[in-house]
Structure 1
Amino acid sequence: MTIELTAADGHTLSAHVAGPQDARRALVVVQEIFGVNRHMRRVCDAFAQQGYAVVCPALFDRTQRGVELGYGPEDVARGRDLRGAIDPGKTVLDILAAAAALPRGATRGIVGYCWGGTVAWHGATRTSAFAAAVGWYGGGIAAARDEPPRCPVQLHFGETDASIPLPDVAAIRAAQPGVEVFVYPGAGHGFGCEERGSYVAEDAALAQERTLAFLARHL
Structure 2
Amino acid sequence: MGEFIQLTASDGHKFDAYLAQPSGKAKGGVVIVQEIFGINAHIRSVADDYASEGYLAVAPALFDRIEPKIELGYEAEDIEKGRDYKGRCSDDAALLDIAAAQGTAAAAGKVGVVGYCWGGYLAWLSTTRLDGFDAGASYYGGGIGSVATEKPKCPVIFHFGENDHAIPMEDVEKVKAAHPELAVNLYPAGHGFNCDHRGSYDATSAKIARERTLELFGDKIG
TM-score (norm 1): 0.97
In 2, distance between residues paired with 1:35 and 1:195?
14
| Cα distance change, pair 6–58 in 1 and its aligned pair in 2 (3 A) | same
Find the residue that maps to 1:102 and give its secondary structure: helix
Q: Residues 29 and 111 of structure 2 are in contact (CA less than 8 Å); yes or no, is this contact kept in structure 1?
A: yes
In 2, distance between residues paired with 1:202 and 1:105?
30
Per the TM alignment, residue 104 of structure 1 is displaced from its structure 2 partner at its CA by: 2.4
Amino acid at match of 2:146: A
Residue 186 of structure 2 is matched in structure 1 by 183
Q: Residues 22 and 103 of structure 1 are in contact (CA less than 8 Å); yes or no, is this contact kept in structure 2?
A: no
Residue 7 of structure 1 is matched in structure 2 by 9
Per the TM alignment, residue 179 of structure 1 is displaced from its structure 2 partner at its CA by: 1.5
Is 1:151 paired with 2:118?
A: no
TM-score (norm 2): 0.96
Find the residue that maps to 1:67 and give its secondary structure: coil
Amino acid at match of 1:131: D
Per the TM alignment, residue 140 of structure 1 is displaced from its structure 2 partner at its CA by: 2.2
Residue 113 of structure 1 is matched in structure 2 by 116
In 2, distance between residues paired with 1:103 and 1:171?
32
Residue 218 of structure 1 is matched in structure 2 by 220
Among candidates 61, 64, 67, match of residue 61 of structure 1 = 64
* Paired-residue identity, %: 48
Is 1:93 paired with 2:96?
A: yes
Is 1:201 paired with 2:199?
A: no
Per the TM alignment, residue 108 of structure 1 is displaced from its structure 2 partner at its CA by: 0.6
- The count of corresponding residues between Structure 1 and Structure 2 is 218
Per the TM alignment, residue 217 of structure 1 is displaced from its structure 2 partner at its CA by: 1.2
Residues 94-141 of structure 1 deviation map (CA, whole Å, 9 limit, x = unaligned): 000001112525111100011100110011000122000001000122
Find the residue that maps to 2:6 and give its secondary structure: strand
Residue 77 of structure 1 is matched in structure 2 by 80
Task: Please give the residue correspondences for 1:112-151 in structure 2 after superposition, counting only pairs within 5 Å.
Answer: 112-151=115-154
In 2, distance between residues paired with 1:39 and 1:105?
23
In 2, distance between residues paired with 1:146 and 1:171?
8
Runs (4+) of structure 1 exceeding 3 A deviation are: none
In 1, distance between residues paired with 2:197 and 2:27?
31
Q: Residues 26 and 106 of structure 1 are in contact (CA less than 8 Å); yes or no, is this contact kept in structure 2?
A: yes
In 1, distance between residues paired with 2:107 and 2:62?
23
Q: Residues 29 and 108 of structure 2 are in contact (CA less than 8 Å); yes or no, is this contact kept in structure 1?
A: no
In 2, distance between residues paired with 1:163 and 1:179?
22
Is 1:33 paired with 2:31?
A: no
Q: Residues 5 and 14 of structure 1 are in contact (CA less than 8 Å); yes or no, is this contact kept in structure 2?
A: yes
**Structure 2: which 5+ runs fail to align?**
none
